Amino acid sequence: MKKNLITAFLMTIATTILLGIIYPLVVTGISQLLFKDKANGQIITRNGEAIGSRMIAQPFTGAGYFHPRPSAAGNGYDAANSGGTNYAATNQKLIDRVRSDAATLHQENPNQPIPVDLLTTSASGLDPEISPAAAEFQIPRVARERGLSEADVRTLVQRHTQQRDLGLLGEPRVNVLELNLALDEMAVKR
């Protein structure tokens, strides 16, 4: 019995050191060497100041900006509350929120169908990208608020639309932060 306890204790110590210290340090080191930008959150900086991450949505509420998907991650796309609501399609809270969002979006663009990703949250609630259809839906508002032509804003959206990875994985998408930063740069150049 004593021999078994000593063996169990030593195995616990050995696996704790191996899997709790050595393995995480090796994986962190490899990710820093091979994927430094992604491992550090793909932070976008301007003039040495961090503006945001390409990988986590953030709220844009101004009418002159493209808006991301609604977030189920608390107020302000709180990463500490990441996760979907898991409401069933028949849940009254979900139905009321979608109806309210749809009414607001119909005021913005009355005769256009609303892309589903402007009404639904992603699984994490922090999706930084919208579909090209969701960006297209918002072009009239953004162009009007910024005093730009819809054609100029549409060209900017097309320039920031990422196609499927390797031509077949995922869906075409537009990173909202990058698009809004490009809009701000366009305004500075005018």
Per-10-residue mean pLDDT for the chain, 190 residues long?
Answer: 93 96 95 86 82 83 89 72 79 90 89 90 84 95 92 94 91 94 80
Number of structural domains (the chain) is 2
Do 10 and 65 sit in the same domain of this protein? no
Distance in angstroms (rounded) separating the CA atoms of residues 143 and 149: 6
Do 31 and 51 sit in the same domain of this protein? no
Q: Cβ-count burial of 183 within 10 angstroms (0-12 exposed, 13-18 middle, 19+ buried)? A: buried
Q: What is the pLDDT of residue 190?
A: 64
**Residue 184 CB neighbours (<10 A):** 14
Do 31 and 99 sit in the same domain of this protein? no
Q: What is the pLDDT of residue 38?
A: 81
Do 56 and 4 sit in the same domain of this protein? no
Do 136 and 96 sit in the same domain of this protein? yes
Do 2 and 62 sit in the same domain of this protein? no
Strand pairing report for 43-46 and 49-53: antiparallel
Do 35 and 49 sit in the same domain of this protein? no
Do 76 and 157 sit in the same domain of this protein? yes
Distance in angstroms (rounded) separating the CA atoms of residues 28 and 20: 12
Say if residues 150 and 139 touch (Cβ distance below 8 Å): yes
Do 35 and 54 sit in the same domain of this protein? no
Do 96 and 27 sit in the same domain of this protein? no
Q: 130 pairs with which residues across the strands?
A: 174
Do 27 and 96 sit in the same domain of this protein? no
Do 161 and 139 sit in the same domain of this protein? yes
What domain range is 30 assigned to?
1-40
What are the backbone dihedrals phi and psi of residue 130, each rounded to the nearest 5 degrees, phi first? -125, 165
